[in-house]
Amino acid sequence: MQEFEEFSTLLQRPVEEKNREFQRQGRLKHMISASQLSIPLLEKLCHSANVIRKMSREPKGNERLRKLLAHKRAMLYFTQPSTRTFLSFMAACQILGLTCNEVRDPKTSSEVKRESRMDSIRMFSSYFDVIIMRSQIADFAECCAYLMNDLEKQERRSVPIINAGVGSDEHPTQALLDMYTIIRTFDFDESSESRPSRLADLRRSYPNLASGPAHKTYAFVGDIGRGRTVRSLATVLAQYDGVKMFFISPDHEVLQLDDSLRQSLKKSGVVVEEFNSLETDYQGQSLLSQIDCLYMTRIQREHNSEQAEKEIAAIDLEPYRLTSDRVAQLKSYTPILHPFPRDSVIGEIPTEIDSDPRAMYFRQARNGMWARAALLVHLFDAADSLHLAYSEVMPA
Ligand code: NCD
């Protein structure tokens, strides 16, 4: 894109080099890419998310949370449709006392007067303390982070940028809440709050099941090629030991796992297997019975070209839908996740699955609020104040 021309050399660098510029003294400065979510950082954020979640149950806890970032203002710049990400960021801001404002339709901003996007961002940074953005324009959030870094070098005002879903590649805060959900599901620490009866049941039925995200099989189903949530979550999970990933999608080039992700996962030591149906066998047993965590996605029709629209319309999507029979083949603990929205016409997860205890997608969405609040606390370096408040107001 013409507007981002000045950043083109920066954009082409290896990810490790870029990520160094998005952090400061071991803390995130901007949240741009899922590859920034290292295991130690995830542990910190999940711990803060737990603290925020527990405090928000108590009136005194709530009151303290609302004071934590009451001196900060957030801009929600969402020019691509969004319900969950937008509302959960707004709720996260409200929990922490941040004031927020929004621009959702660029027609209501000075972009109609031919203001450049970069000027708009710089203006937002004059009024707000963090910019949370969603856009279909690839690399937009990353370029905004470079703009902020340049301003900082010139000793001008600069604020953190949060990528809330940009282009088709990255959705790091969705990966964060997905990981928070996975970590909570596989938290078998006796001292934590996981229900003791559930723990005892699991230990009895699955003596070899390890605690935490490592040594597990993750299955991703649906639009693997265009799902930015799949790409971001798989990138984060690849850091753990002994991870196996099944990708189950129709045999169509835009829907299948793309080669860059396939290669980068294999390079990280992930065992990658690809299938064309949920009803299949793997190493002599039903595929469904071997999954520890199931991640469903919808077919992203809005990205179809005219030709893809015709080709995809002709594909039978039944092998990528859950049914009660298929769910019955899953292990008793396997969480069913979905970033949502689900497609009510295709019905990749029919509503009859919602009452199954393994259906975690509504809790997963709620976890987004705690995980995003934890991210804001981290970006504003308020984790110590959060933990102090917890020890002061929460009963021991
Ligand atoms: C996803 C997205 O926008 O990438 N939604 C979300 O943020 N929960 C997935 C989707 O739109 O299918």
Ligand 1 pocket residues where CB is under 6 Å:
84-85, 165, 171, 174, 228-229, 298, 300, 339-340
Please, what is the end-to-end C-alpha distance for the chain in angstroms?
Answer: 54
Tell me, in angstroms, the distance from the centre of ligand 1 to residue 338's CA.
Answer: 9
Alpha carbon distances (Å) from 231 to 153, 223, 264, 306: 32, 11, 11, 24
Q: What is the pLDDT of residue 113?
A: 79
Q: In angstroms, what is the span from residue 184 Cα to ligand 1's centroid?
A: 21
Q: How far apart are CA 120 and CA 382, in angstroms?
A: 28
What are 276-322's pLDDT values in tens digits? 999 999 999 999 999 999 999 999 988 889 999 999 999 999 999 99
Task: Copy the structure tokens of residue 372.
Answer: 């995003």
Q: Ligand 1 pocket: which of 171, 302, 369, 372 to mutate (most atoms <8 Å of CB)?
A: 171
Taking CA atoms only, the protein residue closest to ligand 1 atom 3 is 165
**Matching residue, tokens 């990749």:** 348
Rounded distance from Cα 185 to ligand 1 centre (Å): 22
3-class secondary-structure state, position 218: strand
Which atom belonging to ligand 1 lies closest to the Cα atom of 365? 8
User: How high is the pLDDT of residue 69?
Assistant: 98
pLDDT in tens, the chain (396 residues): 677 889 999 999 999 999 999 999 999 999 999 999 999 999 999 999 999 999 999 999 999 999 999 999 999 999 998 999 999 999 999 999 999 999 998 777 777 778 889 999 999 999 999 999 999 999 999 999 999 999 999 999 999 999 999 988 899 999 999 999 999 999 887 566 656 666 677 778 888 888 899 999 999 999 999 999 999 999 999 999 999 999 999 999 999 999 999 999 999 999 999 999 999 999 999 999 999 999 999 999 888 899 999 999 999 999 999 999 999 999 999 999 999 999 999 999 999 999 999 999 999 999 999 999 999 999 999 999 999 999 999 987
The alpha carbon of 379 and the centre of ligand 1 are apart by a number of angstroms equal to 23
Report the candidate in 225, 219, 221, 230 with the shortest Cα–Cα distance to residue 319.
221
Q: Give me ligand 1 centre to Cα 231, in Å.
A: 12
Ligand 1 atom nearest the C-alpha of 80 is 3
What is the structure's pLDDT at 108? 75
Q: Show Cβ contacts of residue 195 under 8 Å, excluding neighbours closer than 6 positions.
A: none
Give the pLDDT of residue 293.
98
Read off the pTM.
0.96
At 1 the pLDDT is 67
What's the CA-to-centroid distance between 108 and ligand 1, angstroms? 24
C-beta separation of 88 from 171 below 8 A: no
Q: What is the pLDDT of residue 16?
A: 94
Report the phi/psi class of residue 174: left, alpha or beta, with left for phi > 0 and alpha for psi in -120 to 50: alpha
Q: Please identify, by atom number, the ligand 1 atom nearest to the C-alpha of residue 297.
A: 12
Closest protein CA for atom 1 of ligand 1 = 339
Residue nearest to atom 6 of ligand 1 (CA): 339
Instruction: State residue 281's pLDDT score.
Output: 97
CA distance 238 to 251: 24
Question: Residue 80, SS3?
Answer: coil
What b/e string do you get for 269-282 counting C-beta neighbours within 10 Å, with b at 16 or more?
ebebeebeebbeeb
pLDDT of 190 reads: 59
**What does the buried/exposed string (b/e) look like for 114-135 if buried means 16 or more CB atoms within 10 Å of the residue's CB?**
eeebbebbbebbeebbbbbbbb
pLDDT at 204: 82
Question: What is the rounded distance in angstroms from the CA atom of residue 325 to the CA atom of residue 289?
Answer: 12
- pLDDT of 106 reads 75
Q: Give the residue, by CA position, lying nearest to ligand 1 atom 7.
A: 85
Ligand 1 atom at minimal distance to the Cα of residue 227: 4
Euclidean distance between CA atoms 143 and 11, whole angstroms: 8
Domains defined along the chain, listed by start: 2-170+368-393 (3.40.50.1370), 172-366 (3.40.50.1370)
Give dist(CA 339, CA 213) in Å, integer: 18
Torsion sign over Cα 326, 328, 329, 331: positive
Residue of 174, 304, 338, 348 to mutate, ligand 1, most atoms within 8 A of C-beta = 174
Cβ pair 228, 171 in contact under 8 A: yes
237 in Cβ contact with 261 (< 8 Å):
no
Report CA(293)–ligand 1 centroid distance (Å): 19
